[in-house]
Amino acid sequence: MSIVPHIVGVLVLLLGVIVSVGLHELGHMIPAKKFGVRVSQYFVGFGPTLWSRTKGETEYGIKAIPLGGFVRLVGMMPPAPAGARRGTGFWGELVADARDASVAEVRPGEEHRAFYNLSTPKKLIVMFGGPFMNLVIATVLLAVILMGYGMMVTSTTVAQLSECVPASVTSTASGDDCEGQPAAPAVAAGLEPGDEIVTFGGTEVTGWQQLVGLINESAGSESEVVVLRDGERTTLEVTPAPADRPVVDERGAPVLDADGEPKVAQGGFVGFSPLQEREPQPLSSVLPAVGDQTWQTLTMVATLPVRVAEAATQAFTSEERSQDSVQSMVGVARISGEIMALDEAILDRVMFFLSLLASLNIALFAFNMIPLLPLDGGHLVNALYEGGKRTLARVRGSAALPGPADVARMTPVAYVVFLILLGVGGVLIVADLVDPVRIT
């Protein structure tokens, strides 16, 4: 098997990551400049600089490792509070050095352009701009997929017939499976593959779930069925056989009981499986899809320690790696390569890749919203804390409002979080190399 498609898939993913990261950083930089903050650097990537050019007061460039990026907003940390002593010890010196480095970037006479002097609403806009840009990217990609390409939906067209009433209504049956079993109502009624069910029992059929409900309500009773066959309407009579059917939700997913087993309820069985068709979705479906995927990703981030432990356990034991296992960029890159190597139409592979890139941008949004420095969520929490103190001071009628929050004091937290993230990334990279998630 040629390795070229895999390489192309990885390279295309890297390009998608670079563009996503670049737009994320623009989401920070544009409002920061709009509010007067001096932005000294805008870089995509980490490590050694491959290319850079200074335009105005900002240096723009690309670094060697295309797995991140940054914008340097001058004055992220305010000077030490009046009368404060320089810290001692390892952590104290760390805080003092971080504060000094930030203050040194502020040019004399430009203190008003330092980030720490922005109002709380402006700080929130600047720091949320990056993650919000990832949401915008994901929304655009999902709109292209849902509206332009569509999604598989269960139609009301007959795809395959069951010759008899099987032991399980979730499958079709024929041949030896039908020995001693009664004929399926669909066969007895004369239904044929390709028939599109228009009405059932006098009710116009608008969708598969509605049709299932009509069949369940008509168990044991003869009902008139109108089908569209070769462009003409044909009327048939069918009597659904009473049968236990799995209970499903509005999306067609099985409903589980307290023991995790699928719930069943008395219903009817006709004996055909529906045709799966790709159908473009309306604009109104895009935001709910983004919201649903974002919520699932936020839930995964909230349970990240557990998910990382599960991934490590599955990778280093005989337990199979689950399809929804959390992955590192190594695992995502591998899947991207597999997508390009699939024996599918090029449009299907492109849409699969766009879906992967949309999921990656939603993951970037969710990950950056973790309320700890050095992530964007940590800066958002700091801005809210600062704004809360000032609001409380106004309510109390204080003559002087509190100054900017002393962000430098959180430097040890930022270092610890950074080290934890490095450790988590290392564990997931090893897991993805030892026992990668495989697509089907």
Question: What are the catalytic residues?
Answer: 25
Positive or negative, the Cα torsion across 62, 66, 71, 72?
negative
At residue 79's C-alpha, the angle toward residues 75 and 81, to 5°, is 145
Q: What is the DSSP string of 215-265?
A: HHHTTTS-EEEEEEETTEEEEEEE-PEEEEEE-B-TTSPBPB-TTSPBPEE
DSSP-based three-state secondary structure for 44? strand
The DSSP symbol for 190 reads T
Sequence-separated (6 or more) residues with CB below 8 Å from residue 230: none
Is residue 389 within 8 Å of 396, Cβ to Cβ?
Answer: no
First to last CA, the chain: 17
The DSSP symbol for 19 reads H
H or E element at residue 277? strand 272-279
At residue 387's C-alpha, the angle toward residues 382 and 390, to 5°, is 130
CA distance 156 to 208: 6
Beta bridge mates, 227: 197, 234
For residue 211, CA distances in Å to 164, 238, 262, 268, 396 come to 20, 13, 21, 11, 63
Q: Which of 406, 421, 413, 408 is closest to 372 using CA atoms?
A: 413
CA distance 415 to 426: 17
The DSSP symbol for 194 reads T
Type of residue numbered 374? P
